[in-house]
Amino acid sequence: MDLSACDREPIHLSGAIQPHGVLLALDPDQMTVVQVAGDTMALLGMPPEPLLGQSLEARLGSVAATKLCRLIDEAIVIPRPLLVFETTIGVSPMALDGVVHISEGLIVIELEPQRSGYEREPLALVQRMVANCAATETISQFLASVAKEVFKATGFDRVMVYQFL
């Protein structure tokens, strides 16, 4: 495997919005959308402009809004949490994975289409990851196993392990 391109990977852009996702930023006092980015047409069935100034319930429906409000309450209490959830939104319901966190005083909700083929039960996921990593004999095997397990858990296109000297 040629790793010569690793030093040019844009890991400093890890927070960038993926083209297949949507980011909603909410005013924490009004609970209305103040910023939108991403492919809202594909995921939410509407362009970004109608989302601005709207409440979650008005645009995402009561089931998704209720689930998000519970997670938002946790995100406000816990510093820099990564709260992951599943929901179904839109006229043609689409299963979505989402993350809620606080950034620069705004509530940030990131949504993307739900990935198939990975473990949805957290305990089973952790048990499998630990068992597979523990079965390795060398540091190279261990790191390869970690990358493989992170790939399976997240569905990311690429997973790399970096060593900083």
Q: In terms of domains, do 29 and 95 share one? A: yes
pTM: 0.60
pLDDT in tens, 25-46: 999 888 899 999 998 888 888 8
Confidence at residue 33, expressed as pLDDT on a 0 to 100 scale: 93
Positions in the chain whose pLDDT score sits under 50: 11-15
Q: In terms of domains, do 107 and 149 share one? A: no
Residue 6 is assigned to a structural domain of this protein: no
Q: In terms of domains, do 145 and 82 share one? A: no
| 43, two tokens | 């995921």
Q: In terms of domains, do 109 and 123 share one? A: no
One-letter amino acid of 31 = M
Q: Is 18:112 a contact under the CB 8 Å cutoff? A: yes
Confidence at residue 93, expressed as pLDDT on a 0 to 100 scale: 67
| 59, two tokens | 């645009």
| Residue range(s) defining the domain that contains residue 66 | 12-113
Closest to 20 in 3D by CA, of 114, 85, 116 = 114
Residue 87 is assigned to a structural domain of this protein: yes
Q: In terms of domains, do 101 and 82 share one? A: yes
Residue 2 is assigned to a structural domain of this protein: no
Q: In terms of domains, do 100 and 135 share one? A: no
CATH of the domain at 71: 3.30.450.20
pLDDT in tens, 128-149: 889 999 999 999 999 999 998 8
